[in-house]
Amino acid sequence: MGKRTLNLTDELYNYLLSVSLKEPQPAQKLREETNRMLLSAMQSPPEESQFIALLLKWIGAKRVLEIGTFTGYTTLLMGLAMPSNGRIITCDIDDRWPNMGRRFWEEAGVDCKIDFRLAPALETMDNLLSRDYANYFDFIFIDADKENYCNYYERAIRMVRPGGMIGVDNVLWGGSVINVQNQGPDTRGIREINKRIYQDDRVSMSMLPIGDGLTIAIREI
């Protein structure tokens, strides 16, 4: 086998951050605050969120749907990457963490672009689908409960515009995807979505070993 993705030591990872991470101050403060709450495992690593923001700039995204807000770190960076008329609908079933993030959204001046929906994301998605949000979004980011990933994905395929992008987070799930002993609902949900997207002719896709694994799929035109 030829060269595969480099195994990042802590030192090399820190180097990568030192020459690439351009984290705005409100985002840095939000990340540190989240770390203080000891919930850092649920937060996307900063270089991954920065990459997603870069993708949004690249495609000129104005309409974004995020499934799983948490403290809204990625939400904040996506907001900064979008034009002033850009809008993010972001869904979560718990408003404690988005409420924590909100003051940093305000500090970054992106709160006006963020429309937080407190409800199970499947309900919010079905609701949007019944109100003309099919073929609507430029980018949909799936990063909520893993058990429902395929359900989110099937809706996302209908909601993203042709040529638009779907991002799916945690697709390597800490490596547990290859541990056959692990048959927990989350791990099975991740295996299922990975197989689904790989076999799906409706999209072109690539899986990146960034963070906990990120799949990018583009809906065929």
β-strand partners of 87: 63
Query: In the structure encoding, which two tokens stand for residue 24, read together?
Result: 């705005």
Closest distance to Ca ion from the beta carbon of 44 (Å): 5
SS3 sequence, 46-91? HHHHHHHHHHHHHHCCCEEEEECCCCCHHHHHHHHHCCCCCEEEEE
Closest distance to Ca ion from the beta carbon of 82 (Å): 20
Residue that is written with structure tokens 């309409």 in the block = 63
Contacting positions for Ca ion (CB under 5 A):
143, 169-170
For Ca ion, which is the closer residue by CB, 92 or 143? 143
For Ca ion, which is the closer residue by CB, 68 or 86? 68
Residue nearest to Ca ion (CB): 169
For Ca ion, which is the closer residue by CB, 138 or 169? 169
- Cα 42 to Cα 114, 133, 169, 170, distances in angstroms: 20, 28, 11, 10
Closest distance to Ca ion from the beta carbon of 169 (Å): 4
Cα–Cα distance measured from residue 100 to residue 217, given in angstroms and rounded to the nearest whole number: 31
Closest CA to 134 of 102, 164, 171: 164
For Ca ion, which is the closer residue by CB, 69 or 124? 69
Closest CA to 48 of 214, 166, 216, 217: 214
Closest distance to Ca ion from the beta carbon of 59 (Å): 21
For Ca ion, which is the closer residue by CB, 23 or 186? 186
Closest distance to Ca ion from the beta carbon of 171 (Å): 10
